[in-house]
Structure 1
Amino acid sequence: GGLCEALELDRPHVAGNSLGGLLALEMGRARLVRSVTALSPAGFWTQAERRYAFTVLSAMRGIAGRMPVRVVEGLARSAVGRTVLTSTIYARPGRRTPEAVVAETRALAEATGFARTLRAGGSVQFTEDVRGVPVTVAWGARDRLLVPRQGVRAKQIIPRARLVRLPGCGHVPMNDDPALVARVLLDGSR
């Protein structure tokens, strides 16, 4: 609520991806917003799915941290190399520019809050309905980090939510199909 007040926003429409999707849903649960669109939101996992996601993220960070920048830059020059570096989060990693892949890989390696965020996420489980606020939950059909069946679980927990499947999209669908994501965001805020 404090951020919205500071920005002088009265119940904005919010959207978020992954952890941002979970935060958007929490804002909706607190009725601080007009609508929520959550893209592959965290928190709808089983313990095994959470362990899997955190293990994958930790491995990605470890690899990124050990890889010299010149190696990352070399891999990022080809679509195959970009696939090696980012296929866990993008369904269409070849669409990323080499510069974006290098920047993303370095950001993952250097993220100061990474370990703290994973520790905090270990106990996160979204278990309560969101009432009085329209909710759209969209999930990439090719999400390899937070698997699509978690969207079905989200629909069970938030029965009035609109569940949207994002064909051809991975965990970060904005890259894979920007036009589709834009339509989902616009529809969710109506």
Structure 2
Amino acid sequence: MARRALFTRRYRPSGSRRTGHGEPLLLIHPFMLSHHSWRPVAERLPQYDVLAVSMPGHYGGPGVSLTARFDDLVDHLEAEMDRHGWDTAHVVGNSLGGWAALELGRRGRARSVTAIAPAGGYDSLTLRDAAMVASFLVAAAGRRPARLTNVLPLLPAVASLGLRAVAHDPRQIVPADARHVIRTALGATHPVRVLLACARSIPAPGIETIPVPVHLVFADKDVVIPPRRYAPYFTDRLPHAKVTTLQGVGHCPQVEVPGLVAEMVHDFVVASTAPVAATA
């Protein structure tokens, strides 16, 4: 029984989670994770109507075709917004989700955009980019045998190594959230197809036309999308965006320092809506 702890019946994935009341707030996860990665942040924002969605090809999300493009992932997010009756929302995303958040802003579906360590800023590919893609492919290929053997729960050191791609200090992640990170990474349905979809769409186009307030958030200890290499693509095209660099934090701050992320999201939503409220 213990060997199947990660994938028992009660952990069957859901496609989304909605909590709270107030201004609509859409949360979008990074590559190979799911809407579960936002749980510790969503629980700290009860004053918002929070919707966290799993994208196609991920744990809990629908399938994705071999010929899909990045736009197809964002189309699913728009369809979820429509299903919940949302024309627009404040949108927050991390990594792949950060790119999706910017795209929703470009499409006119966002009231504000917070993009945390956004992907898609590859105007020229380097050897480091190729190595990063190769590491993603290895992780994607290894998820099935790891899931079948449930080896990670038995090898804490291996699990900790994997978590270092997510957090600078994995010890800061609550154990239940760490298990969710592992479970959703192992349970991703079509990560290679998602990578191909993104590769067909890089670099992120048209972000300079986003008409709403944008908050670009980078993490100085990010080993997946180091800000020194990737931030300029976004800051050059969004010169009026607010820019924050989190110190001592890794690629997915929402699981490492959820309290800080919740506070940051709330402050930016308030700042973004204050001028409208003052005019009204």
Q: What is the TM-score of this pair, normalised by structure 2? A: 0.60
The match for 1:125 among 203, 210, 224 is 203
Q: Does structure 1 residue 42 correspond to structure 2 residue 122?
A: no
What is the identity, as a one-letter code, of the residue corresponding to 2:260? L
Does the 8 Å CA contact 2:153/2:159 hold for their aligned counterparts?
no
Residues 1:5 and 2:82 are matched in the alignment: yes
Q: How does 1:76-115 map to 2 (within 5 A)?
A: 76=156, 80-115=157-192
1:51 to 2:115 alignment: no
Q: Which residue identity does 2:197 align to in structure 1?
A: A
Q: Give distance in 2, aligned partners of 1:108 and 1:17.
A: 15
For the 8 Å contact 2:221–2:247, the answer to whether it is kept is yes
1:162 aligns with 2:239: no
Structure 1 residues 7, 103: closer, same or farther in 2, change over 3 A? closer
**Greater displacement, 54-63 / 10-19:** 54-63
Q: Which has the higher contact order (CA 8 A, sep 6+)?
A: 1
Residue identity in the other structure for 1:173: P
Give 5+ residue unaligned stretches, structure 2: 1-77, 272-280
* 1:148 correspondence with 2:234: no
For the 8 Å contact 1:36–1:188, the answer to whether it is kept is no
Q: In the alignment, which of 145, 150, 175 is matched to residue 66 of structure 1?
A: 145
Cα distance in 2 for partners of 1:100, 1:177 equals 12
SS of residue paired to 2:160: helix
**Two-structure CA RMSD over aligned residues (Å):** 2.1
Which segments of 5 or more consecutive residues in structure 1 lack a partner in the other structure? none
Q: CA deviation at 1:163?
A: 1.3
What is the SS of the residue equivalent to 1:47?
coil
Q: Secondary structure at the match of 2:155?
A: helix
How many residues are treated as equivalent by the alignment? 186
* Counterpart AA for 1:47: L
- In 1, distance between residues paired with 2:114 and 2:121? 15
Give per-residue Cα distances to partners, 1:132-151, cap 9 Å, x unaligned.
20000101111111111212
State the distance in 2 between where 1:34 and 1:158 align: 16
Aligned to 2:32: none
Structure 1 range deviating more: 170-179 or 134-143: 170-179
Checking the alignment, whether the CA contact within 8 Å between 2:173 and 2:256 is kept in structure 1 is: no
Deviations 1:8-64 (A, max 9, x none): 223211111111111110111122211000111110124225423322222223344
